Structure 1
């Protein structure tokens, strides 16, 4: 795949990240088909809308039919009971991949998360960035489900030839809201750039990358994302002075500051993060 796919199925289109990408992906040349369990009443004239749950296999088949690629953002984005995570994030992602396989879709971008490796110690100042092949250390059932999604993507590449870029997203908000987020922030504009790179890079097979902007305080290695053609243009540093003045520096003796996953590494997990 060397040219941009034209029609992309965007799951989770009514969520916070999905709503941002509805605005920012089309300028990269995409026509979007939107899927969410919640109704989308403000769809643009060139947006198709399907209101359905990830458990609705027939609706997913219809949603995947005729698209060039899928950006899979749908699911629960915080910690929840195992039963809820199982239904939405684990079974739901499996249903999505099956629908893509049946429809002949050959490229998926999967919204994984830093919480798949959340109990990884955060790097100390001046230490090496966390590589993408660091061992999985999920911090929650949510993080566990993202590890499952990465493995499912690997299986569908090896078994069915469906390529996936699994993006371990940090925190994608218009601006960082915590000192921790200074290190993992992904600006919405950079998120769209990364999705575009993941949709168009040739011969990705199954590839895992970290998703963040080019932050001065970056904790992880962005080289696999850059290898896709991703060129981040934003940095969280302009927000640093105010956030540190309000919240103080990170405390290495605090569980929520000592690990990559932040407050998800506390018992019980806390947020916002």
Structure 2
């Protein structure tokens, strides 16, 4: 089994303690030589400025290739493209282009009156620049706003046709879930790389709540395993299951793994070490 290429997702800090956690996480994981790291927006675009600051700091201080999340939420087209210009001026060459969740105070997503109506429109606008790689989201199980996986595959095809250069999936528990989606995408004519998104389970309770929000099914075997492990055995079980999932993905042909770190490096670092990802020296 070949050693995978890895990438990591961080979220921007909202206070001083969270800042220390982000920088500690970046310092711990940067030596693994990730292909890129991504930095999210908060729900409804609430951390736009914090995201920009985190992106530039990770790039400048750690020498990381940073992909900045960008959404269509609560901003005009002009304002959104100004953010793209600012990222480009700061040396950012990758963007994760997303529709985004509902704006703060809204129950459902709706487009800004002068904004992009969908991620496809945002991707088209960024692609016209010609100097930025565009990563997008993908859903191996139906997106909460989608009727079924076939619709998600069709929409991913639209995003690829609009200019997306790679896709990152929502997390899942079974490797077969990813393989079925990958094969459906190939059958639909999608040849763009699709990176499996991996969630190392920092908290079983938190992971189940996250799964419920994003439409990820929780298999019975996982429920039974964590109930049997109890709080004392939860961390060891989480590491073992994550390593197994990654190895299954690699055995099935995946070459890159994208980890949702939740700004907590230890479990992701332990999994990467078990997978043979070599540390390349201390981060700056």
Shorter-chain TM-score tier: 0.3 to 0.5
Q: What TM-score do the two structures reach when normalised by structure 2?
A: 0.38
Structure ranking higher in helix proportion = 2
Structure with more contact order per residue of length (Cα contacts < 8 Å, sep ≥ 6): 2
Q: What TM-score do the two structures reach when normalised by structure 1?
A: 0.39
